[in-house]
Chains A and B, each alone.
Chain A
Amino acid sequence: MTLTAPRLERCMPTSPHPDSRAEPGPLTRALLDHHDHITAFVISQTRDRSAAEDIVQDISLSVLAEDAKGTDPEHVLSWLIGLARHRVVDYYRRVARTGVEQPVGELLEAVATTFAEDVPDAGEDARERRLLGRCLDRLAPTARYIVDLRYRDGLGNDEIAATLTWKINAVKVALSKARRALADCVGRAERVRGMR
């Protein structure tokens, strides 16, 4: 992915000059390469996709600011995960009085360690998303419908169950099965790609 930033010194009357490009800093570069990984980490910590989006936005702004200051950590992914952990802690502090339950500390720690490990497919988000899109098209209609209800409409298990007049447990099973099928499909596509 080629990334550029506008440069203010060059003012063009209609469109930017082709030379008016500036490479993003190393932290921003790393954030872009690990965007979905960081988002996944935050979701794993908060279990709230909406809150995770807000936190990732905060992270992106912090990263832009740190790059501007010239921050240069030794291990960038660990640094990003550390930054994300701070934002998650801030989040739980903010929602402490609203009844949002924080996972046990040892799980948060284990999840953070898990996501701070090096990942082989950094910078592959766009391709992975395209693969996932193709795999979605192969889901059985009912499975696809349930996945849509969860990830497009944001319905909880109980709401999906009410919509389909299913038992909640049946929804959980169907949703897990659909996600497992998607993971397998993406994994297969990855393996095929690796064999080429």
Chain B
Amino acid sequence: MTSHDDLIFAHLDGDLDAAGQRELAARLRDDPAVRARLRELARLDARLGPVIASAPRPALTLRALPPSGRSLWLRPATLAAAALLMLALGAALLFTPLLTPAGLGLELLDGSLAADDRAPAAGQPIATGDRHSARLRLSATSTMTLQPATEVVVRAGESTRQAVDLRRGAARFSVVKGASKLTVATDAAEFTALGTAFTVRYLPDDPGTVELRVDSGRVKVAQRNLPGQQGSLEFGAGAVQQFSARDPVRLTPGKLVAVGPREVRLLIDNGQRTATYRVAPSCAIDLDGERIVLDDLPLGADLVVAHPPGDGAAVRIQARPPSLTGVFLGIEDRQVTVMTTGDATSSFDFVLDPAAEILIDGVPSDAARLPDYLVGMRTTLRFRFDRSAVDRVVIDTKQSPYRFGPGSPSRRLPGSGPAPGVL
């Protein structure tokens, strides 16, 4: 029998079918403990959003990249240490995927390789000549097509996890979604297929730069060699993006359309395709000429992407000034509860920094006075955020529709509003 919790979570996530809904309804009717549990878990569910929004985002636990260039696996010392370790452990099963060429699913399907006298082998360079391409099976669920003058090393060939070093040239990879994990490492970035088909190539005129072209699905990218860059980017179908070992990511120019929180949507190739860039936190990105970390963007802010006129090579991303129009419900221990209305983004709590600068119609005030202004008042505030805390609050009552809370009749003061500093 499905547990109460599983039924409740499935319901809250919208995953419960009609039969499950009737089952949950029956349990709720019959058992006070289930009713109490639903209240408990649903309130937890309701609180998690605002609580997480006001908490710092935890560090991502992405695998650390080697400090430079070639894969750590290819260093002689690393290989020797790994071999010794494996021998010491007697782990034949571990030994097999790394060094044994046969039985790994690595097989030439079409075309020809530069060294026709031997079968492609894991751990050994696999290269094509200047005039020939080759299609190889990596596993039952993944293939790679090497363009002419391309060299790769397949680091592992087990069925569920594969890694390929692209040393030069260009290769197209195709992976069935959910079937296996494929990582392609280059000098500039590491690409992880999330069920996709994509091509990675070194630019002929700039060997330090690789280009990613996503045909379908999504590809996660971790860029190499850039201090402070510990996150990843994700690129969807239609995306064409270049990565340099020297510079931070610059989004591919295009006609820029809608943008959401941490999501940039571009129309590229004369509007024929749309690429959605899901931007991970803690990932450095070129923002209007300056490198920033997206985690530093204001809480709740949208990214606004603009294409500067007359500069076809640049993409400008700006944080929309964070502002909220809402009904202010309470402030306690610097925790301000806001229910937004109108065109604002959401309702959430924020923490007021003890040293926050507070200006009400241009006049400095202090946090202790805020409740008198805010509770039940529908007005416009502008906040400056330092991560989860607010270090500046600007209240402009002249822009307020003057809807006040209980005990105060709704009214609009004469003219364009009160004089600055007067309520």
Do A25 and B43 touch across chains, with their CB atoms under 8 A apart? Answer: no
Given A5-B376, A40-B46, A129-B47: A104 and B405 interface contact (C-beta under 8 Å): no
Interface size, chain B (Cβ < 8 Å) = 87
Do B44 and A3 touch across chains, with their CB atoms under 8 A apart? Answer: no
Q: Which residue of B lies closest to A44 (CB)?
A: B42
B372 interface neighbour in A20, A64, A151, A187, Cβ under 8 Å: A20
CB B370 to nearest CB in A, in angstroms, measures: 9
Chain A, 54-87, CB within 8 A of any chain B CB: 56-57, 60-61, 64, 67-68
Bound-state Cα–Cα, A144 to B366, Å: 35
Residues in B with CB closer than 8 Å to A20 are: 372
Which secondary structure dominates chain A's binding surface? helix
CB A122 to nearest CB in B, in angstroms, measures: 11
Residues in A with CB closer than 8 Å to B35 are: 113-114, 117
Do B423 and A5 touch across chains, with their CB atoms under 8 A apart? Answer: no
Between B45, B329, B349, B373, the greatest number of chain A beta carbons within 10 A of the residue's beta carbon is seen for B45
Do B21 and A151 touch across chains, with their CB atoms under 8 A apart? Answer: no
Bound-state Cα–Cα, A188 to B48, Å: 17
Do A61 and B341 touch across chains, with their CB atoms under 8 A apart? Answer: yes
Give the bracket for the number of chain A residues in contact with chain B: 35 or more
Chain A, 174-188, CB within 8 A of any chain B CB: 175-176, 179-180, 182-183, 186-187
Bound-state Cα–Cα, A134 to B363, Å: 36
Q: Which residue of A lies closest to B348 (CB)?
A: A53
Task: Report the tally of A-B residue pairs with Cβ distances under 8 A.
Answer: 248
Chain A, 93-129, CB within 8 A of any chain B CB: 103-104, 106-107, 109-111, 113-115, 117, 119, 125-126, 128-129
Interface stretch, picked from B23-31, B75-83, B88-96, B109-117, is: B23-31
Bound-state Cα–Cα, A165 to B218, Å: 11
Asked whether B200 is an interface residue with its Cβ less than 8 Å from the other chain, the reply is no
Bound-state Cα–Cα, A152 to B297, Å: 14
Interface stretch, picked from B51-59, B150-158, B205-213, is: B51-59
Residues in B with CB closer than 8 Å to A23 are: 407
Bound-state Cα–Cα, A142 to B61, Å: 8
Chain B, 366-388, CB within 8 A of any chain A CB: 366, 369, 371-373, 375-377
Chain A, 1-40, CB within 8 A of any chain B CB: 1-8, 11-16, 20-25, 28, 31-32, 35-37, 39-40
Asked whether A189 is an interface residue with its Cβ less than 8 Å from the other chain, the reply is no
Asked whether B415 is an interface residue with its Cβ less than 8 Å from the other chain, the reply is no
Given A40-B42, A114-B28: A104 and B22 interface contact (C-beta under 8 Å): yes
Do A147 and B47 touch across chains, with their CB atoms under 8 A apart? Answer: no
Do B327 and A61 touch across chains, with their CB atoms under 8 A apart? Answer: yes
Residues in A with CB closer than 8 Å to B46 are: 36, 39-40, 43, 49, 52
Given A53-B347, A179-B41: A110 and B48 interface contact (C-beta under 8 Å): no
Bound-state Cα–Cα, A75 to B61, Å: 49
Asked whether B124 is an interface residue with its Cβ less than 8 Å from the other chain, the reply is no
Residues in B with CB closer than 8 Å to A56 are: 339, 347
Do B408 and A22 touch across chains, with their CB atoms under 8 A apart? Answer: yes
- Cβ-closest 9 pairs across A and B: A16-B372, A40-B42, A22-B407, A5-B405, A47-B14, A110-B28, A40-B46, A107-B25, A25-B406
Q: A11-B422, A43-B46, A61-B341 are in contact. List 20 more A-B contacts (CB 8 A).
A: A5-B377, A5-B404, A5-B405, A5-B408, A7-B407, A11-B418, A16-B423, A22-B405, A24-B407, A25-B407, A43-B42, A49-B46, A110-B28, A114-B28, A147-B48, A167-B178, A176-B5, A179-B9, A182-B44, A186-B44
25 contacts between A and B (CB under 8 A): A8-B423, A15-B360, A20-B372, A22-B407, A23-B407, A32-B330, A43-B42, A49-B46, A57-B326, A60-B339, A104-B25, A106-B25, A110-B24, A113-B28, A114-B28, A129-B47, A147-B52, A151-B48, A152-B52, A153-B261, A162-B218, A176-B9, A180-B5, A182-B44, A187-B40
Which residues from chain A sit less than 8 Å from chain B, CB to CB? Answer: 1-8, 11-16, 20-25, 28, 31-32, 35-37, 39-41, 43-44, 47-50, 52-53, 56-57, 60-61, 64, 67-68, 103-104, 106-107, 109-111, 113-115, 117, 119, 125-126, 128-129, 132-133, 136, 141-142, 144-145, 147-148, 150-153, 157, 161-163, 165, 167, 172, 175-176, 179-180, 182-183, 186-187
